[in-house]
Structure 1
Amino acid sequence: VLKGVVYISLSDNMLYKSGSYEMSDQAGETLNKIAKIIKDYSNYDVLIEGNTDNVPITSKNIRNNWDLSALRASSVVQTLQNKYGVDPKRLTAGGRGEYNPIADNSTEAGKIKNRRTQIIITPKLDQFMDLIGKAPEKS
C-alpha cells in the first residue's frame, strides 16, 4: 500500500499457461483471494495491467507483446467479473507490453520478473481528489 493505493504484482506462471493468455488451473486460488481483497476495497477502482519481457511472441493469433499483455489483463478482468462477481464498472484492463520493465531483460531472472500482471487498486477520482486535498503541503 502506497499513499492509499494497493499494488499486487503476480508472476505470469501464477496465472497463465506458458506463452498464453489462457488462465492456468492454479490461477483460481490466487484470483479468489484477490477478488476478496478487491471487494474489501469496494469504493476503489481496479486496474489490471499486463507486462511482458522483450522476447517476441511467436503465436499465430497474438501479434506481439502489446497484444499478449492486453489479452492477459483482459483474461484476469473477465475472470474477476464472471467467476468471482467483481463489479465490472470498477475494472480496467491494460497492457504495457515489454515497455515497463522492472528488471534487466538481458538475463533470464530479469525476464521472469518482467513477465507479470499488476493489480492496482486506487481510490475513485473524487476520493483521490479528497486525498490530494488532505495531503500536507511541502514547504
Structure 2
Amino acid sequence: PLRGEKLRLVDMAVANAENLLKGRWESQKEDLIGAVQSVLKLKMPPHYIEGLDISNLQGDEAVGSIVSFVDGLPHRSGYRNYRMNVVNGIDDYGMMAELVERRVSKGHLPDLFLVDGGKGHLAVIKNVLDR
C-alpha cells in the first residue's frame, strides 16, 4: 500500500517486528556477556573485550591482530594490525609479548583479553601486564 490505513498498519507491523528482534538480540547479548562473566568468575561483566592473535608465514611477515567488542558488538574502529618488528623467526610467545606491550603502551586496556593460544601465551601476557 502507498497510502492510507493499510500503509499505516504495514508501517506499524514493521516497527513492531524491528522492536521484537532488537529486544531478543539485547536479551541474547546480555545472556552471553553474563555467561562469560560467570564462566571466567569476573566481578563485573566485561564491557570492553579485545581478542589477540598472531599470524605469520613460516616466521616471515608476522602480524599481530586485535579485534574489539563493546557490549558484545564488534567495535571496528578498535581493530588493529601490528607488524611484528622485534622478534625474528618463529617465536609465537615473543610475538604475543610484543603485541601486548605495544597494545599496553596505547593505554585504556579492555576489561578482558581473549587470546588465540594456550597456557604459554597466557603466561607471557600476564608477565607483560604485571610489569
Query: TM-score by structure 1 length?
Result: 0.24
Greater RCO, 1 or 2 (C-alpha within 8 Å, sep 6+):
1
Which protein is richer in strand relative to its size?
A: 2
Which protein is richer in helix relative to its size?
A: 2
Larger Rg: 2
